[in-house]
Amino acid sequence: MKLEIKNLSKKFGDSVVLNDINLTFNSGKIYGFIGRNGSGKSVLLKIICGFYPPTEGTILLNGKNYIEKNEFPDNTRALIEKPKFLPDLTGFENLELLASIQNKIGKKEIDDILEKLNLTKEANKKYSKYSLGTKQKLGIAQVLMENPKLIILDEPFNGVENETAHKIRNILLEEKKKDKIILIASHIKEDITTLADIVYEVDGGKIHKYNKK
């Protein structure tokens, strides 16, 4: 799988958030984005997901310009900013509802990902009763449960306890071995530099490769 960003710019009114971005992402790697809050990290990820149209430029996934066709990228799952689920359903019921859209997985796969993320005890608790960290873990669970080829995570360790954060890192390293593209953004450098193969810094509308050493 290859994801290519070509001459990408994004403006909101007169404000330039991203300016002439050119990046290529290949399978089997984790790519990290660091930068202060409001630097444009989340905007870039939303454009890749098809949530925002670019002002200029193109994005190709395996050579397909899905943005031009007003489509979402194939085989992609994302968690951007805060996760949101139906408050009156349990964690399990929320995941089961999402899984029913494409019917790729069943209860076993949902149980498996809940166990991996230390969510088994909270599976039958209503989402409205979840803590910030538990909500975050459920958001990551919905990203991973259907085995996507392109994984996009924005601030994935926000509010997550150290034990589960360690588990998430190990899970992502295992997912990388399955020839996937993984994109992670955070304003905390240590979250990214310890995990990503290639790190980019987002600042002033530009994206530069960051030297981890």
pLDDT at 151: 96
Q: Do 137 and 111 sit in the same domain of this protein?
A: yes
Q: Do 71 and 93 sit in the same domain of this protein?
A: no
* Stronger pLDDT, 159 or 134, i.e. the higher one: 134
Last residue of a domain, one of 124, 147, 170: 147
Q: Do 61 and 101 sit in the same domain of this protein?
A: no
pLDDT at 213: 60
Q: Which domain holds residue 170?
A: 1-75+154-213
Q: How many domains does the chain have?
A: 2
> Which of left, alpha, beta for 189 (phi over 0: left; psi -120 to 50: alpha)?
alpha
* Stronger pLDDT, 112 or 194, i.e. the higher one: 112
pLDDT at 160: 81
Give pLDDT tens digits for 132-142.
889 999 999 99
pLDDT bin (cut points 50, 70, 90) of residue 121 is very high
Q: Do 87 and 141 sit in the same domain of this protein?
A: yes
Task: Pick the range with the lowest mean pLDDT from 102-111, 120-129, 164-173, 195-204.
Answer: 164-173
* Stronger pLDDT, 75 or 158, i.e. the higher one: 75
Mean pLDDT of the chain: 91
Q: Do 95 and 2 sit in the same domain of this protein?
A: no
Q: Do 5 and 67 sit in the same domain of this protein?
A: yes
pLDDT bin (cut points 50, 70, 90) of residue 107 is very high
Q: Do 3 and 69 sit in the same domain of this protein?
A: yes
Share of the chain above pLDDT 70, in %: 99
Q: Do 71 and 159 sit in the same domain of this protein?
A: yes
Last residue of a domain, one of 147, 171, 200: 147
pLDDT at 135: 93
pLDDT bin (cut points 50, 70, 90) of residue 162 is confident
Q: At what angle do helices 132-144 and 91-99 cross, to 10 degrees?
A: 20
Q: Which of 150, 146, 18, 147 is nearest to 73 (CA)?
A: 150
Last residue of a domain, one of 147, 166, 183: 147
Q: Do 69 and 24 sit in the same domain of this protein?
A: yes
pTM attached to this predicted model: 0.92
What is the spatial distance between Cα 157 and Cα 193, in angstroms, rounded to a whole number? Answer: 14
Q: What is the mean pLDDT of residues 40-57?
A: 92
Q: Do 45 and 99 sit in the same domain of this protein?
A: no
Q: Do 46 and 4 sit in the same domain of this protein?
A: yes
pLDDT at 212: 64
pLDDT at 67: 87
pLDDT at 127: 96
Is the pLDDT at 102 greater than 70? The verdict is yes
Domain of 27, CATH number, reads: 3.40.50.300
Q: Do 11 and 40 sit in the same domain of this protein?
A: yes
